[in-house]
Structure 1
Amino acid sequence: MRLLCAPAGSGKSVLLGECARQCPVDTRLVYLDLRGRGIGASALLQHLGDALGLPCADAASLDQHLQELQQPLWLMLDDYPRFPDAALDQVLNQLILEAPARVHWWVASRRRPKMQLARLLLDGELFELGSAELAFSESEVSELLQQLGHQWPRPQVRQLLEQTRGWCAGLRLRLLGCKPGQALPADAGIGLQLDYLKREVLDELPSDWQLALFTLAQFSSFDHELCEQLLGVGEGMQMLAQLRDCGLFIEPVAADERLLRVQPTLAPLLAGQLPGSMTKALFRKACQWYASREEIRPALEYALKADQQEVAASLMQHYTEDRLLRGRDLALLLEWCRELPTTLRCSTPRLALLNAWALLLSGHLDEGEVYIAALERFLPQPSARRQQELIAQWKALAGKLAFHRGDAERARLLVTEAIAELPERAWSQRLLCYLLQIELVLIDGDFERAQALNRAAIKQAREHASLAFESLMALEHAKLLEIRGELLRAESLLSRLHTELSNAWGDEPSPMHGRSLLRRAGLLLQRGSYQEAEAVFGAGVQECQACSDPAAVWGLLGLAELDALHGDSTGAFARIADAERLMQYGHINVQLYQGLLLATRARLWLAQGRHAQAEKALRALLAGLPALPPFGAPELNVRLRLLLAQAQLAGGEVREALDSLTAMHVQALAEGRRPLACEIGFSLAEGWYAWNKPAQAKQVLLDALAMARQMGLASVERAFSQRSPALMRWAGKIGSSVEESEPAALLSRRELDVLRLIAQGLSNQQIAESLFISLHTVKTHAQRINFKLGVERRTQAVVRAKELGLTD
């Protein structure tokens, strides 16, 4: 049996006709167009008997005839009756199950007949296509457009596909009247689609079915319980089942089929058939129902659709900062707030706090500052406890704003006080303050304290069962691992986080989901997995843009880096322009992204030999740069100075560049920023070589190469080899191969001496006496040894040294 089961306009009859034309020459073809009408079991038998030339058309005679056939037979039933008929389905079921293998049944239907299809499927005798399989794919839409003479760019093809979801009738109706060479008007074919639906579907439905379909089309999703609320208790679920059985464009939102929706292509057309007064009454019902179940997000959405602004403002107070990090809640909350008058948005301290946090989290610093200032209107509070709580909440917000404004001292002070003063019920705000503390510590380079703060914050997030905040802290931990050069551990953590979020939150886009993808893509880029990085960057950008998260700019800049690596500087600059537009259109504060954009531009300019332009732009930015880099980029200010030093080297300003690079290199090594130290080391080697100091250049370069390969920093090494191919060849000559001279490449001679004595179990004081050096020098050598070998303790250094053959 071949079953084509899909709603009207899916192309079933066309496909069945095409199959009929492919019928083998030795096979008899019987084609019946049943036109979807309710014909009953006896009428179906009569049609089949007449088509087969039988004098008697009862079930037994028909079955006997099929059993006696010698020639293969194709029986095609097009447009099978659209309304449920148990007797009809039972007769067809019996005929199919008892027919011999040489009889092939083809059925095209809007509804799935009530038959023993599972048995056919298990026996390998059923091939079924539904609406998903019959929908046009992007390549098929492109082929259709070419046949119609349209030469549209890919974005326009995708837009058409998104508007129609590949629905065959929708595609054809939208393209009617669109002449070759013309762009598709936004409202093309909308009226024709509605006329088609009325003629082919709606006019034959009972009035109560029509009303039910128009009602459900008002909602982006619904379940059986909501249908009871909207369509009548005791009737709603039954009506929904009938609509689904008849293939009336109702489909599951996800694989579990808990939530349903009217096909998004057609929902606006069907929803428009109800008058506005009826739709608002439906939205009020939905708001009340969701509020009774404490599902705040949909309740708030439908309160606004019902023009109940006071109800919406009241519901909004139930939102927590934890909810702002889930799904599209942050973007939706900002969107909903714009629908409320300003007086309502600041009518209570909770609303002012919530709006302030939402705006600061999304990068709208100036707007957020207005709501922070509005909190002063609610002082004094009626009790000392509430007064202290509101002031602590103000400190948390003011501390976050100070951080983004670049005021490090004010941010540290306010955040520390807020953490100490916020009450237990404000745990989500305390965790946001912890997040800022961790970022400040990462900027300072105190990684042990950052790890301790992260552990404490994760513990609190778990105590409150907040996956959103636990994910935020996991992203901070991954960032810490990346800064220390533990790229594989960071990537493993991010992959695990992505899986946990997918399992918990499903397919809905969310900032946490998108950011985990973008940070993992950045690690893949560093490790040289360019193809995979591009795919993950693209997915992360899509996730972030879907929930209006400005972090999408990170993905666009990452894609620009990949374009540059592939030699496509035009595409790279276009990506940067896209990122800039994204931030500007979103009214994101310029301080949050100007350094990121310039860093990417400067790398491109340097690759093109435009060092003077890079130097000028970098000097101008660094002169007015805030003390703190933007959130999420704790090393940005140092990297901007590194780019300036690279521009100076390219322009012949070697002495000034060397001084800057040396200072940065020493600091990066001391703080344990291994990837950054490696990158600076390559530039420092260029500086020493240009200053005619080959011995210093050799040691720094071999150290940098060894560290790059130890950490898997393929992109850093590749960028250096593209920037200085001659120096890279020189490194190969002096070192033969890094593998053959690995001890020299990893550690200096004095560091090797210290490591051998450590392996013998000597204390630092004993090593100092044996080598006639100070205790401080021994400790410095020990720190450098641990750093270069990628370990934290002496015992680990000994084990690692033995693995590399550095000691006996």
Structure 2
Amino acid sequence: MLVPRPHLCDVFHRKPCRLQLLCAPAGYGKTSIVHQYLQGIAPPGRVVWVCLGGQVQTLADVRGTLAGALGVAVDELFAFLQAGSLLPEPSSSRASSLPQLTAFTCGSELARDEALKANTFLSTENTRQPGPIHIVFDDVPATMPDDLNHWFDQLLALDNPQLHIFVTCRQRPDWNLPRLMLTGQLLELNARQLALRPDEFEALVEALAPETDAPAREKLWHDSAGWCAGVRLSLVQAQPTPLLGQYLERELLSRLSQEQCEVLIGLAHLSRANADFCEQLWEGQQRGRVFDSLLACEAFLLPIDLQARWYRLVPAVAQALQKHLSGAALNRLRLRACHLLSVQGHVDDAVEHALSADQPEVAANYMERLWLSWILSERHLNKLMDWRERIEPQLLYSSPRLIYLCAKALLFSGRLDEAEECLARLGHFLPMADPARNQRLLANWQALFGTLQALRGQTEPARAHCRAAIECLEAEDWLSVLLCHCILARLAMDTGDLEQAQGLLDQSLELARRQGSHESEVLINADRVRLMMLKGQTSFAQALLRTELDRLTHTQPLPLLGRLLFLRGELLLQQGHLSEAEVVGEAGLLHVRDCCAPFVLNGYLLLAEIASRNHEPQKAHLLLHEAERRMHWGRIDSALYQAAIARQKERMLAREQPAESGKASLARIGGVPDYQDDLTPREVSVLKLLAEGMSVREVGNRLFISENTVKTHAKNINVKLGACRRTQAINSAKAMGILA
């Protein structure tokens, strides 16, 4: 099954170079991508495909194969490629032995068959036409003799702009690549760039196993990290034969030395590694050098950070290799890694390794060393919730710091009853001997309890607790201060006090920046975008959101990015761009596929509203059903989703039924819809005056705004209510309970 990957083909189209180098482990679709690109090139010119099969080659083999494919003598090969003249017709013997093909192989019979099967589109009909020459060297071996490397350097140095060379390999060749890079003649794609994107992953699963449910898809996406072969093999793993393990035995382990295999199998049990770490982990065995060799031969090691300071194995590869090490030897490795990682500041990884070694006491001890701001990265939220299932409660409640950490995780996950029970445990540490510490403990408790009250909709107690907490919190409690400010700002927005919300968010933003907390800054800016939307400052909201999206652009699932994409979808919806909003909303859901948090609901509400406006009621209701399932799955408190889903259903019902029926239905529920793109206070004021029969000028005079501003508000009102005319908007607003 071939997944179209036009964005990668576009890379080749945008930057035609002398050398297009695709260097990645087996199964990343290197050959198929070149295949797709060559099918669509114009003018087609001549394509010669040489499959080397990853096997050791001689200079004579490669030169002879290429010369035969082009129909020239070996001694005339470079002169012909340099001249770029009309291409000769292949000899009759060559044409008869390989009819209608220009695919040749220097490898095994199996490689030859695969090459011919994969390249049947390469015809000899255009062999005498002028145009570019495309030479593909497929599966170049990791090591080659010096004379062959020198020959490739000469080939790449030929002065013919019509000559384009494609190379697929699993290890970067020992050629003069820096020279090509400096002259702009090198285009290089690695495993990260070749990995499947979320939409491509979904297309592959739909084609091979459409019955795969959402949790299974989420796990497969995480485990495969975009590795195409890993996805395909895992989808048929239900069969007794362990296909993935067999594939790695043949395509990876068989090509490595014993030392490399030993280190790789150890890395299969570790969350991160680099050369220095391996040198310390396997002390005195020069394993740092072995690690570097594994990097060079593309052994499925992916960088964790942008600076490539740490690496990890693709999870699916790691899981398949873990069977090779077990028992006491494995526990010794894990505990040694646990100590080294904690020393280097990777406390969360140390916790994970301690749990894997069946040492929950050690894990709880390391958890106390985590910064409380660590939890703001939403991937960490899932990790902490998993730890809670694996560590005994008495260990998790053994210190105030651990209780704070767990309580915050539960609050952010929407599990409010559990959070309240957790906070009650702080009472076991009161009173403390030191009055100052006693006051700080109470203040931090109030910050969390105020957050809990706000999430339950208890506005006044929430305000009281948050304000009292701010008075007593110290500089080192900046995260609790930040939490209180954000909660108070959201409460202010809910009650229409937008200026107070602005001031609180400004304070929060400054505090987050001074603490260097990027995650906090992004979350605060999300609230600022919401505030700008309430104020009708659409252009400012768009600019701020665009800035944050640019900073967070990522090919792998990132819940924080999903949250921003939902906001982007709401802005597009406000402007009436339904199709664009739908695309953005669906992309956001892909980024939160493995996240259990209340904000995931926003994506489903957005897409349900779009479906409703597109007159697709069945799709809209199915989306709300899926949203409710996700909330149940995450054990999220009903107060955080039931009312919102009910109000969205009423909005949809108001569109599906006559106005009076919809209005009667809203008496049943009570309350006003609060979907994210509801009318701002100013828009409600404009609509009320228009409903009284006032003209645009009269509304402007009453509200002290210009006529153009009134017209802008009226346009936004129509878009939000799905109306084309003023009377239709007024009737819809009455049906929804916005107007009495």
Tell me which interval the TM-score lies in, with the shorter structure as reference length. Answer: 0.7 to 0.9
1:461 corresponds to which of 469, 493, 512: 512
Which residue of structure 1 aligns with residue 609 of structure 2? 561
**TM-score scaled by length of structure 2:** 0.74
SS of aligned partner of 2:576: coil
1:212 corresponding residue in structure 2: 263
Change in Cα spacing, 1:187 to 1:218, as seen in structure 2 (3 Å) is: farther
Inter-CA distance 18–430: structure 2 relative to 1 (3 Å threshold): closer
CA–CA separation in structure 1 for the residues paired with 2:494 and 2:67: 87
Cα distance, 1:200 vs structure 2? 4.3
Equivalent position of 2:717 in the other structure? 716
- 1:71-99 deviations in Å (ceiling 9; x for gaps): 86988655777453563554444663687
Are 2:681 and 1:673 aligned? Answer: yes
Q: 1:596 to 1:242 in 2, by over 3 A?
A: same
Q: Which residue of 1 aligns with 2:177?
A: 117
Match of 1:414 among 451, 465, 488: 465
CA distance in 2, matches of 1:471, 1:421: 26
Indicate the residue corresponding to 1:445 in structure 2.
496
Deviations 1:471-492 (A, max 9, x none): 4433333333322222222222
C-alpha deviation, 1:190, in angstroms: 5.9
Listed one character per residue, the Cα deviations across residues 326-359 of structure 1 (whole Å, up to 9, x for unaligned) are 2412222122122110101111122122212221
1:121-140 aligned within 5 A = none
Residue number in structure 2 paired with 1:243? 294
Task: Check whether the contact 2:597–2:634 (CA below 8 A) recurs between aligned residues.
Answer: no
Which of 437, 452, 455 aligns to 1:386? It is 437
Q: Structure 1 CA distance, aligned partners of 2:522 and 2:37?
A: 52
Partner Cα distance (1:121, 1:36) in 2: 27
Confirm or deny: 8 A CA contact 1:400 1:433 kept in the other structure: yes
Counterparts of 2:189 and 2:236, CA distance in 1: 32
| SS of equivalent to 1:322 | helix
Cα distance per residue 1:372-400 (max 9 Å; x no partner): 21111112212222222222222222222
Cα deviation code 1:512-545 (max 9, x no counterpart): 5443332333222112233332233233333344
The 1:424–1:608 alpha-carbon spacing in structure 2 relative to 1, beyond 3 Å, is same
Change (3 A) 1:563 1:96: same
**Is structure 2 residue 404 aligned with structure 1 residue 353?**
yes
1:451-530 → structure 2 map (5 Å cutoff): 451-500=502-551, 512-530=560-578
Amino acid at match of 2:292: A
2:331 to 280, 283, 297: 280
Tell me the distance in 2 between the aligned counterparts of 1:640 and 1:65: 73
| Larger Rg, first or second structure (1 or 2) | 1
Query: Which deviates more from structure 2 when the two are superposed, residues 238-247 or residues 97-106?
Result: 97-106
Other-structure match for 1:801: none
Aligned partner letter, 1:110? R
The match for 1:36 is: 55
Counterpart Cα distance in 2 of 1:573 and 1:19: 41
- C-alpha displacement of 1:602: 0.7
* Match of residue 585 from structure 1: 633
Closer, same or farther: CA 590–698 of 1 in aligned 2, 3 Å: farther
Q: 1:492 to 1:213 in 2, by over 3 A?
A: same
Q: How far 1:114 moved relative to its partner?
A: 0.5
RMSD across aligned C-alpha pairs, in angstroms? 4.9
Corresponding position: 1:228 with 2:279: yes
Q: In terms of mean alpha carbon deviation, does 610-619 or 338-347 score higher? A: 610-619
**Aligned residue type for 2:589:** V
SS in 2 for 1:347: coil
Change (3 A) 1:351 1:185: same
CA contact (8 A) 1:63 1:95 kept: no
The aligned residue for residue 735 of structure 2 is: none
Change (3 A) 1:532 1:282: farther
Task: Identify the residue that residue 143 of structure 2 maps to in structure 1.
Answer: 84
Distance 1:714 1:537, change over 3 A: farther
Q: Which runs of 5+ in 2 are unaligned?
A: 1-18, 91-101, 108-137, 732-740
Residue by residue over 1:737-756, the C-alpha shift from the partner in whole angstroms, topping out at 9 and shown as x without a partner, is xxxxxxxxxxxxxxxxxxxx
Q: Is contact 2:20–2:167 with CA below 8 Å preserved after alignment?
A: yes
Match of 1:538 in 2: 586
Q: Secondary structure at the match of 1:338?
A: helix
Aligned equivalent of 2:25? 7
User: In 2 relative to 1, CA 168–451 (structure 1 residues): closer, same or farther, beyond 3 Å?
Assistant: closer
CA apart distance, 1:186: 5.2
Task: Please show how residues 721-740 of structure 1 align to structure 2 within 5 Å.
Answer: 722=723
Matched residue of 1:261: which SS?
strand
> Residue 528 of structure 1 aligns to which amino acid in structure 2?
G
Residues 247-266 of structure 1: CA distance to partner in whole angstroms, max 9, x if unpaired? 33334456654443333442
Distance in 2 of aligned mates of 1:293 and 1:551: 33
Letter in 2 for 1:116: N
SS in 1 for 2:381: helix
Distance 1:269 1:468 in 2: 34
Does the 8 Å CA contact 1:4/1:108 hold for their aligned counterparts? yes
Change beyond 3 A, Cα 1:236–1:542? same
Q: Tell me how far 1:192 sits from its aligned partner.
A: 2.5
Paired with 2:198 and 2:80, the residues of 1 have a C-alpha distance of 46
Aligned length: 655
Q: Structure 1 residue 319: deviation in Å?
A: 3.2
Of 543, 548, 570, the residue aligned with 2:618 is 570
Counterpart CA distance in 2 for 1:709 and 1:425 is 47
- Which residue number in structure 2 is paired with residue 606 of structure 1? 654
Q: Structure 1 residue 401: deviation in Å?
A: 2.3
Shift of 1:139: 9.7
What residue identity is the alignment partner of 1:716? Answer: I
Query: Is the 8 Å Cα contact of residues 607 and 623 (structure 2) preserved in structure 1?
Result: yes
How far is the alpha carbon of 1:292 from its aligned partner?
0.8
CA distance in structure 2 between the partners assigned to 1:461 and 1:21 by the alignment: 51
Deviation larger for 478-487 or 343-352? 478-487
Normalised by the length of structure 1, the TM-score is: 0.68
- Determine if contact 1:708/1:717 at 8 Å carries over to the other structure: no
Q: Distance in 2 between matches of 1:724 and 1:236?
A: 73
Structure 1 residue runs without a partner (length 5+): 55-60, 175-183, 623-636, 647-667, 689-693, 731-808
Partners of 2:596 and 2:630 within 8 A in 1: no
Looking at structure 2, the residues matched to 468 and 134 of structure 1 have their Cα atoms a distance apart, in angstroms, of: 28
Greater alpha carbon shift after TM alignment, 347-356 vs 316-325 = 316-325
Residue 388 of structure 1 aligns to which amino acid in structure 2?
Q
The structure showing larger relative contact order (alpha-carbon pairs under 8 Å, at least 6 residues apart) is: 2
Per-residue deviation, 1:621: 4.3
Note the alpha carbon deviations across 1:454-481, whole angstroms, 9 max, x for none: 3333333333333333444333333333
* Matched residue SS, 1:84: coil
On the 8 A contact 1:458/1:470 being kept in 2, the answer is: yes
Point out the more displaced range, 212-221 or 328-337. 212-221
Offset at 1:48? 5.6
- For 1:696 and 1:103, the matched residues in 2 are separated by 70
Match of 1:376 in 2: 427
In structure 2, the residue matched to 1:656 is none
User: Cα 1:478–1:710, aligned 2, differ >3 Å: closer, same or farther?
Assistant: farther
Report Cα offsets for 1:484-519 as digits up to 9, x if no partner: 2222222223323334556xxx66765554433323
Counterparts of 1:642 and 1:551 in 2: how far apart (Å)? 12
For the Cα contact (< 8 Å) 2:697–2:707, is it kept in 1? Answer: no
Matched-pair contact (CA < 8 Å) for 2:562–2:591: yes
